[in-house]
Structure 1
Amino acid sequence: MTTRAWWLVVLNILLPGSAQVLAGNRKLGRVGIVATFVLWILALVTLVLFLVARTLVYSIATNIVALTVVQVLLVFYFVLWLVLTVDTLRLARLVRVGPTARWLVAALAALVLVVLGSTANYGVVVAGSTRDAISAIFAGGQAAGAIDGRYNILLLGGDAGADRLGLRPDSISVVSVEESTGKATMIGIPRNLERVPFSEGSPLYEPFPDGYDCGDQCLISYLYTYGSEHPDLYPDAEAEGSNAGVEAMRDAVEGTLGITLQYYVLIDMQGFSDLIDALGGITIDVAEELPIGINGGPVVGTIEAGEQHMDGTTALWYARTRYNMTDYDRMVRQRAVQEAVLAQFEPSNVLTKFQAVAKAGSQVVKSDLPQAALGYFVDLASKTRALPIASVELIPANGVVVERPDFDAIHDLVAKSLAPTAEK
């Protein structure tokens, strides 16, 4: 009976349902065997697709309906494993097994059940967190195609907070990704850039045909507030997963750079530190010791020179502090933080901290990237991470005068920076 018990338990582990076919309810056993084979086939098909059609796998993994189906299947399989394992122990007749082997047999069955149950539970939680995050962050519209072989995404870092009225973009940049290679270029735009032009198709062209001129210090960052105060200019924005403030910024950046922006991502900087903490922090090579504080106020700390692993609060200070420094110095640091965060989005890192990352992301990020296109962009992002990221900063050191910019020269600089890889 001891040998029989070991065989039944091991068979239940290797092929759930086989113990019932041999020594119990054959109908239940056949259900278990068929379900097991179906699971093996699904796993094999997923592996093959991942090797030959990775984008399709990513698309399924980011589809809300598919994620719900995965949750249901995981619950079904766990319940089935539980029923089969308990029934297998019944068939093993542990009371007739040797005293020592009795506990070992039961312990093996219980251990495997706990491992499978924990795995299934984790899968259910991850699928649910993914579904909730996708619903909270991304829009449900149609995907836009590449333009001149590139996807151009507007990144806005908002500075909303308890001590501020509304939101203003504290950080403005564009990530342009080459469709064929995944090679990315980040373009930094000063928030104090003035007199930005608009194309004739923009709702802002009529009030500002000669560029944004409001009378005094007409900074590009103010256009978010202007758009928010004039929602009638962009009546369809909310329905398309955006808002009038974002659309005003989109038109301003398109006019500034001379390119079309297919999508935007808006990040609340106040919650950005939570996302960094969820990722386990970021590592940045600090060029020189950096005082932390606000101009005119006391120094509240320092960030030492050299390679530093920063938590969210420190990284946010690093990206935002302007103590005895210019906005242009800060732009360079903001780009370093953005690149460091991107580097942290490794599959192994994200999976082990998935719940925290998903929760933080859903709280700080909004985008009009369509849910239907997420699989494609996840695949494209994996290529981007494997390549160095180029940077272009529209700052005085590169010949940009923020008070009276030469936008033709800026357009030429951007066009050269975004030329196809084969032409560089």
Structure 2
Amino acid sequence: MTAHPYAGAVPGAGTGSGARAYGSAAGTTASPIRYPDTTSPRAMTVRGWWLVVLNLLMPGSAQVLAGNRKLGRFGLYFTFGLWITAILAFVVYQIWPQVLFSIATLPIPLTIVQVVLVAYAVLWVVLTLDTLRLVRLVRAGPRARTAIAAFSVILLTLTSGGAVWGGYLAGVQRDLVNSIFSVQAAAEPPVDGRYNILLLGGDAGEDREGLRPDSMTVVSIEADTGRATMIGIPRDLQQVPIAADSPLIGTDYAPDGVYDCGSDCQISFLYPRVEAFDSDLYPNAEAEGSLPGIEATKDAIEGALGLTIQYYVLIDMQGFSDLIDALGGVDINVTEALPMGGDEELNEVEGWIWPGEQHMDGYTALWYARSRHSTSDYDRMERQRQLQTAILQQFDPVNVLSKFQGIAAAGAQVVKTDIPQSTLAYFVDLALKTKDLPIDNVELTPPLIDPENPDWDLVRQTVGDALVLSSSTDTPAH
């Protein structure tokens, strides 16, 4: 009896007509994926589609079935690892979202995410190119060759390109965190169940020397619920009592504990003066992520309101428009016509913001916050608070993710703060709670408070009552 010519041969060995004959014979008993009938364009076309779809659904499976099993297993392990990680992330987000917020706000986890995503992108390129090799396009039907190749390239662009883009965004986020948030600053505990954050709007316009805080707001947030109260502080507030432990006390600023020298001692003047002439009063400020002028302003506001200010956020109003443009604009209900550019009587007006619902770009929103020639400083304060609230409400995950690169680039130039990196996850979680709750507003302005001769007992009682009301009811305080 004559032995079969391929008896004892290694499956798939050999080339040419003999190998094709074996493939045809063995295809009835062996895997048609690994040992296809290469003489059948129809079979090779079906096999090709199977391989590219499997490579999409389970990268590495095409190699396990038809190619290098070692490479395929590595791809499958990597893929299953990412699937398991994604499932765990979803479960953790439902139970303890701060864990994921920590990953998204700390440089080391973000670096790990970036490396993993880039590695997966490279692996997907390797597996896709190897899958195309295994498909053997020249054996597929003539019309199917282009379709299979084009489909593979499109999928490669979407999958591998998506992973690279995700890695890039992780790097952008890491750089943003490092550029804005402090590493040196220590985490502060809540006081009376609240975090009090000083929000300063610094205006360094072309007509100014240096930066001066034209907008001062204390955002008081309940540590448990996220309910927030915004306390507006007039920039022309005078006779301000200074916090008892401040280095300003006993100096020319506050020899008797009060910052009082008439109209030349408005609270907004503390920042530029201490920065320019007496920064040595706060020698550790910069090492702790702050500035001497900011620390002096915090001491004054703590003394005025009777609150402990744990952190500050300084927003440069000149760069504010970039942030709003990055968000895609902001929706504001305008109640009166406001000039943009200056005084109407001096023919300085560049345009007008008209009453009604307006979708503002950054330039218009900046003038909405700064316009002063037809209204008072206290009207400006109210508009600035309105703008801050509107921006907060637009920081939803979809909007931020879709425009993340622009927001990050603007934020790095606009914002300075001493909020530590170690507390970012907590404050992200708290901000999401705040976004879904009404925000209460307290304005320490006339006729309630006279900025030139404030009744400090009334100021503290007003603030205290507002915080108690905010804690006990869902009705906004006014």
TM-based fold match above 0.5: yes
State the percentage of identical aligned residues.
58
- CA drift at 1:9: 1.6
Answer whether contact 2:369 2:383 (CA < 8 A) is retained. Answer: yes
Trace 1:273-422 onto structure 2 (pairs within 5 A): 273-295=321-343, 297-298=346-347, 299-397=349-447, 399-419=448-468, 421=470
Answer whether contact 1:292 1:323 (CA < 8 A) is retained. Answer: no
1:15 equivalent in structure 2: 58
Trace 1:35-74 onto structure 2 (pairs within 5 A): 35-74=78-117
- CA drift at 1:205: 1.8
Trace 1:5-404 onto structure 2 (pairs within 5 A): 5-140=48-183, 141-207=185-251, 208=254, 209-214=256-261, 216-228=263-275, 229-295=277-343, 297-298=346-347, 299-397=349-447, 399-404=448-453
Answer whether contact 1:279 1:344 (CA < 8 A) is retained. Answer: yes
Answer whether contact 2:238 2:262 (CA < 8 A) is retained. Answer: no
Alpha-carbon separation, structure 1, partners of 2:286 and 2:208:
23
Answer whether contact 1:160 1:270 (CA < 8 A) is retained. Answer: yes
Q: 1:422 to 1:324 in 2, by over 3 A?
A: closer
Q: Which moved more, 1:105-114 or 1:288-297?
A: 288-297
Amino acid at match of 2:393: A
Q: Deviation digits for residues 209-255 of structure 1, max 9, x if unmatched?
A: 24102354310001102321211111110000001000001001111
Alpha-carbon separation, structure 1, partners of 2:47 and 2:325:
52
Answer whether contact 1:293 1:323 (CA < 8 A) is retained. Answer: no
Answer whether contact 1:154 1:265 (CA < 8 A) is retained. Answer: yes
Alpha-carbon separation, structure 2, partners of 1:294 and 1:217:
24
Amino acid at match of 2:400: V
Amino acid at match of 2:394: Q
- CA drift at 1:422: 5.0
- CA drift at 1:291: 2.8
Alpha-carbon separation, structure 1, partners of 2:66 and 2:374:
80
Answer whether contact 2:222 2:471 (CA < 8 A) is retained. Answer: no
The gaps in structure 1 that reach 5 residues or longer are none
Give the 3-state SS of the residue equivalent to 1:221 in structure 2.
Answer: helix
Answer whether contact 1:175 1:184 (CA < 8 A) is retained. Answer: yes
Alpha-carbon separation, structure 2, partners of 1:148 and 1:39:
43
- CA drift at 1:278: 0.7
Q: 1:420 to 1:325 in 2, by over 3 A?
A: closer
Amino acid at match of 1:385: K
Equivalent residues, number? 423
Q: Deviation digits for residues 259-302 of structure 1, max 9, x if unmatched?
A: 00110000111111111111111010011222334346323321
Alpha-carbon separation, structure 1, partners of 2:472 and 2:146:
70
- CA drift at 1:129: 1.2
- CA drift at 1:105: 1.6
TM-score for both structures, normalised by structure 1: 0.97
Alpha-carbon separation, structure 2, partners of 1:110 and 1:20:
18
Alpha-carbon separation, structure 1, partners of 2:247 and 2:469:
31
Amino acid at match of 1:188: G
Q: Deviation digits for residues 375-410 of structure 1, max 9, x if unmatched?
A: 11111101111111110001013x101111011110
Give the 3-state SS of the residue equivalent to 1:161 in structure 2.
Answer: coil
Alpha-carbon separation, structure 1, partners of 2:76 and 2:244:
66
- CA drift at 1:142: 2.6
Alpha-carbon separation, structure 2, partners of 1:389 and 1:297:
38
Q: Which moved more, 1:159-168 or 1:368-377?
A: 159-168
- CA drift at 1:148: 0.7
Q: 1:325 to 1:420 in 2, by over 3 A?
A: closer
Q: Deviation digits for residues 35-83 of structure 1, max 9, x if unmatched?
A: 1111111111111111111111101111101111111111110111111
Q: Deviation digits for residues 109-154 of structure 1, max 9, x if unmatched?
A: 1111111122112212211111111111110133211111111100
Alpha-carbon separation, structure 1, partners of 2:186 and 2:259:
31
Amino acid at match of 1:178: E
- CA drift at 1:324: 2.8
Give the 3-state SS of the residue equivalent to 1:396 in structure 2.
Answer: coil
Q: Select the structure of larger CA radius of gyration.
A: 2
TM-score for both structures, normalised by structure 2: 0.86
The gaps in structure 2 that reach 5 residues or longer are 1-43, 474-478
Alpha-carbon separation, structure 1, partners of 2:93 and 2:205:
42
Alpha-carbon separation, structure 2, partners of 1:111 and 1:92:
16
Higher relative contact order (CA 8 A, sep 6+): 1
